């Protein structure tokens, strides 16, 4: 039994100092595939909209937009409508990257780099709103609060926000993958113990590996994946609202 990270599919030699070569990994390829699928789905749902004689497709699209707007308004208020597309994109990408593993493909969310990229974007927005609310001097002065000796602790606390967001999402997805793998391995061992003494091809039966892993995959890939996407988006909206000084 092995648990490996994303494979490097090929390398583009750039000879760029410091940055080095550009490595194309499973994570990068599958992320672009998921984004392409989501873009196609969004185009299909959103094209040829009408004011009258609304189709079921348009009704679904409107329902998704209404729920997304309600989610952002409930968490951030009505002054942050510009972040509705961002929150929707993160949620859809997170769910899509989780569910792609159901088809047997590598899940980009099983790579910490994916969650870190999302968290960095959120961290930049948080910093932007803090500077906008307090000014650059006020923002820097905040690191000295309540006394200048607290500056290192405040810096660590600030950087802990994106790290904790990324690790929380990644850790939960990874734990589901590990548990599913361990269960599959245990069921394979159980099948060998139960059927191993039978003659011929009967000793190769793997009955215990049929069905049971599907239920655990349904929970970790579908339910657990959607919950983690929801939590990440909730934290995104709350942190940005707090950074902007909104009550």
Q: What is the DSSP string of 139-170?
A: HHHGGG-S-GGGHHHHHHHHHHHHHHHHHHHH
Q: Strands, DSSP E only, in the chain?
A: 8-16, 20-25
Nearest alpha-carbon partner for 93 in 167, 174, 39, 57? 39
Judged against a pLDDT cut of 70, whether residue 157 lies above it is answered with: yes
Nearest alpha-carbon partner for 109 in 122, 120, 96, 121? 96
Residue 71, both tokens: 């989610």
Render pLDDT for 52-91 as a digit per residue (tens, 0 to 9): 888 898 899 999 999 999 999 999 988 899 999 999 999 9
> pTM of the predicted model, to two decimals?
0.82
Q: Report domain extents, the chain.
A: 59-243
Judged against a pLDDT cut of 50, whether residue 1 lies above it is answered with: no
Whole-number pLDDT of residue 129: 93
Q: What is the overall mean pLDDT for the chain?
A: 85
Number of C-beta neighbours around residue 182 at 10 A:
13
Q: Which residue has the tokens 């960095």?
A: 120
Whole-number pLDDT of residue 12: 79
């Amino acid at each position: 039994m092995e648990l490996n990270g994303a494979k490097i599919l090929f390398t583009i030699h750039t000879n760029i100092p410091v940055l080095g070569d550009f490595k194309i990994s499973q994570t990068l390829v599958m992320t672009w595939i998921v984004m392409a699928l989501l873009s196609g789905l969004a185009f299909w749902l959103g094209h040829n909209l009408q004011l009258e004689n609304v189709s079921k497709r348009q009704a679904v699209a409107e329902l998704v937009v209404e729920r997304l707007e309600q989610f952002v308004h409930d968490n951030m208020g009505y002054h942050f409508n510009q972040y509705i597309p961002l929150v929707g994109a993160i949620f859809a990408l997170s769910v899509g990257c989780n569910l792609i593993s159901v088809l047997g493909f590598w899940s980009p969310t099983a790579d910490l780099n994916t969650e870190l990229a999302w968290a960095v974007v959120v961290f930049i927005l948080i910093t932007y709103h803090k500077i906008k609310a307090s000014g650059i001097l006020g923002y820097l002065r905040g690191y000295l609060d309540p006394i200048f000796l607290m500056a290192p602790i405040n810096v660590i606390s600030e950087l802990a926000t994106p790290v904790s967001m990324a690790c929380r999402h990644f850790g939960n997805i990874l734990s589901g993958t590990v548990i599913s793998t361990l269960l599959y391995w245990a069921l394979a061992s159980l099948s060998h113990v139960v059927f191993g003494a039978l003659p011929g091809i009967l000793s190769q039966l793997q009955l215990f590996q049929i069905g049971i892993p599907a239920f655990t995959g349904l929970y970790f890939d579908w339910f657990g994946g959607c919950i983690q996407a929801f939590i990440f988006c909730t934290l995104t909206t709350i942190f940005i609202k707090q950074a902007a000084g909104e009550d």
